[in-house]
Amino acid sequence: MKRFAGTLISLSLLVLAVSQAQTGAMLADAFPTASAQAFHSIKVTRSGSQQPSKGPAEYFTGSVQIEPLFPAHDPSRASGGKVTFEPGARSAWHTHPLGQTLIVTDGTGWIQQWGGPIKEIRKGDVIWIPAEVKNWHGATPNTAMTHVAIQEELNGKAVEWMEKVTDEQYRK
C-alpha cells in the first residue's frame, strides 16, 4: 500500500511539473519580449518616490498638489493619484468616460454633481462618480482635503475637463 501511495504521489508531482513547464512555455511564446517570470513580477513603488506637481491653473482653482501613484498597466486601464487641495482649492467641472472612485484620506472637502447640491466628504469616505457625470470636488473654504483618485482610461483618456467652478457656484 505504501508503495502504491508513493507511486501515486510521484506521478502527481510529475504531472504538476509538466503542466507548469507547459504554462511557462506558453507565456514565453505569447510574450516573446519578456520572460514569463518578468511578465508576472510584482512592482513596488516606494511612498514618496513619485514627485508631486502643482495642479494646472487651467483645471484647478487655488493651491493643488498632484502625486501620481500608478499609471494604467496593460491590460488594465486604471490609474491613480493622490490629490491635495489647500483650503478653498477645487477642480474645474469635469467628467470621466468610465467613472472615478475617490477615497478621502485626510481633511474635509466638497463634491457636487451638475444640478445637484454640494455634499460634504470627510476622511475615510469613498465616493463613486459614475461615467460621464459632470462634477467638481475640492477642499472646503477653511479645511484642506486629500483624496486618492482612481479612474480608467477609454481610448487613452481618463478625464474631460470643462469650465471652472465659479466663486458663486463654490459658495452655494
Residue 71's pLDDT is 94
Residue 172's pLDDT is 72
The low-confidence residues of the chain, meaning pLDDT below 50, are 1-28, 34-35
Residue 19's pLDDT is 40
Residue 37's pLDDT is 56
Residue 48's pLDDT is 84
Residue 32's pLDDT is 53
Q: What is the DSSP string of 15-69?
A: HHHHHHHHHHHHHHHH-TTS-HHHHT------TT-SPPEEPPTTTEES-EEEEEE
Q: Which residue has the cell 452655494?
A: 172
